[in-house]
Structures are given as C-alpha cells and as structure tokens.
C-alpha cells in the first residue's frame, strides 16, 4: 500500500487503518542510557492497539561494542519477521513523542529495502492527547517471513567520516543539543570526550518539531533551520548525533524537503568521541 510521498502519516490516517491487515504498527521508542522506566516497560503500560515493540538495541549488531549499530540482513529480517512484518506490509512506526527514535527505525527499513514505511506524526504523545484508544500488556505477534537487502549507501563508517575531514565532499550535520555539540557539557555516555566532529554543523533535532503537539514543523520552518545552520541542501549530507538515533530526525526532515541520498554516521559520537578517537572540535560551528 502506498499513501503519499510524505514519509509521515497522521493520527487520523492511522486510526482509520488500525484494522487494515496490510498495515503493521511498530513502537520504536528509545531513551538515553540510565533513563527509566525502560521503553519496553512503557510499551507494556500503554501502546497503540495492534502494535509491536521494535527494540533498536535488540535489532542491532551485538558483535560490536558500540550501541545499536546496524545489524546484518539476516538479523534484521529475523527481528522484524518476529514482529509479524512481511515485505508486503505497509509499516507505520511511532515513538513515545519527542521524535527520538521513530525515524531511526524508518531509516533502517529503508536501508534494508523496505520502501513502504511511514512515521506517525506526533507519535504516541499526539495519539493519547486526542483521547484515542490504547492497549497495555504483552503482545504475541504471529511471525512472518521477511527478506532484507541492505544498501550500504545509507550509512557511513568512522573511516569514511575521517576521510571526509580532508575532502569535505559531504556536510556533517549534528543533531545533538547545542551544549553537547559545543562541548560545554559532558556526554551522557561515560568515557566520551566532549565536542563535535571538525567542520560539522549543528541542527538540534528538537528544533524540528513542536514540543506542545509533538508534530513535525512545517516545511518552511524545517528549511530555515538547516539554512540558519549553514547547511546547503543541494550538497551531500551525512547526519550524526550521540549514537545514531536522533540524527535520523534530521534525515526525516531532509527527506520531507525532497533531499535524497543522505547517509547516517551509524557510530556517531559514541564512536568518534572515544578517548582514542579522531580529532575533536569545540565551541560554535
């Protein structure tokens, strides 16, 4: 099923498709380390009817020390198949609100070849504010067959980003809050240096949505946020953040603005900011 070229769907649209057998709904909520209750516990307490929980820490490469790195094709296929998702389904992803994680799962599906995927505008925050139905407790999805085909162009490695320091072929755009980008506050993950990748620009992801409603801002305001940060939408862009999650809020906004071909630095600051990592800059961009 195809709805629109816009990667977002409204709460009205989802409410009208709750019983549509061609639609699968996933809660991809995520929190920074140490924040409780855990996202899965929140899911058990309240979720959109018919949804399953997409755990970015489970559907990831467990052979790496970095958090929730992209998994193999087989692991992704096994993980989403267990959530009752097949290649034929329209996948609608939401998070708790605040846009921290839904776009990450959206980008993963696109990277693994699933183009019929959308993000719920406003997430569970807007859904509940409108008084819509919720469920609680465990769910037991019926496993489905899923085949994944990974496009490496959707992500960048540390080596590629290091090479870009000299070539400046792509613009690096960091989604972290300004104090973390400038290095004036410590990182939430222990042992990481503070600051940003040299030459990168800062578009804090929270600037791209309305905190009161949880919805993403109009296209004109999205465009202005990138322009004000010195980002040229006609040049290649790689997004980054703390650990490769909130960067995809930027990617989603860029996608809505018609920008294609962006990539994610999957390791992000959890990789770059290590004590023995590459050069670090501090202060304003």
Q: For the chain, what is the largest distance between any 2 Cα atoms, rounded to a whole number of angstroms?
A: 52
CB 216 within 8 A of CB 256: yes
**Dihedral class, residue 257 (left if φ above 0, else alpha if ψ from -120 to 50, else beta):** alpha
How far is Cα 50 from Cα 19, in angstroms, rounded to an integer?
8
Name the residue with tokens 């296929």. Answer: 77
Give catalytic status of residue 241 as yes or no. Answer: yes
CB 105 within 8 A of CB 252: no
Strand order across the 263-265 sheet: 155-156, 263-265, 237-240, 171-174, 201-202
CB 80 within 8 A of CB 60: no
Three-state secondary-structure class, residue 13? helix
Among 241, 253, 259, 270, the one annotated catalytic: 241
How far is Cα 41 from Cα 64, in angstroms, rounded to an integer?
25
Count Cα atoms within 13 angstroms, Cβ side, for 114: 27
How far is Cα 219 from Cα 183, in angstroms, rounded to an integer?
30
Of the chain, the end-to-end C-alpha distance in Å amounts to: 42
Instruction: Please give the sequence-ordered ranges of beta strands (E in DSSP) within the chain, or none if there are none.
Output: 8-9, 23-27, 51-53, 90-94, 117-120, 155-156, 171-174, 201-202, 237-240, 263-265
Q: Enumerate the active-site residues.
A: 241
């Amino acid at each position: 099923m195809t709805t629109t070229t816009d990667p977002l769907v409204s709460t009205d649209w989802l409410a009208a498709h709750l019983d549509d057998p061609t639609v699968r709904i996933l809660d991809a909520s995520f929190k920074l380390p140490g924040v409780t209750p855990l996202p899965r516990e929140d899911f058990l307490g309240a979720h959109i009817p018919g949804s399953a929980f997409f755990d970015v820490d489970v559907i990831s490469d467990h052979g790496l020390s970095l958090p929730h790195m992209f998994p193999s094709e087989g692991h992704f296929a096994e993980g989403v198949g267990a959530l009752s998702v097949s290649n034929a389904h329209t996948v609608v992803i939401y998070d708790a609100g605040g846009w921290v994680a839904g776009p990450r799962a959206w980008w993963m599906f696109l990277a693994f070849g699933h183009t019929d995927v959308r993000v719920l505008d406003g997430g569970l925050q807007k859904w509940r504010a409108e008084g819509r139905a919720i469920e609680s407790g465990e769910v037991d999805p019926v496993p489905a067959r899923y085949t994944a085909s990974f496009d490496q162009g959707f992500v960048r490695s540390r080596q590629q980003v290091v090479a870009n320091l000299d070539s400046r072929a792509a613009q690096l755009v960091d989604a972290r809050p300004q104090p973390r980008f400038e290095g004036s506050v410590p990182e939430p993950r222990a042992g990481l240096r503070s600051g940003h990748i040299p030459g990168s620009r800062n578009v804090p992801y929270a600037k791209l949505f309305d905190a009161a409603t949880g919805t993403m801002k109009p296209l004109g305001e999205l465009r202005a946020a990138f322009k004000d940060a010195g980002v040229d939408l006609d040049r290649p862009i790689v997004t980054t953040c703390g650990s490769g999650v909130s960067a995809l809020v930027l990617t989603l906004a860029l996608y809505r603005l018609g920008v294609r071909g962006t990539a994610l630095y999957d390791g992000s600051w959890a990789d770059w900011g290590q004590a023995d990592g590459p050069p670090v800059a501090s202060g304003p961009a």
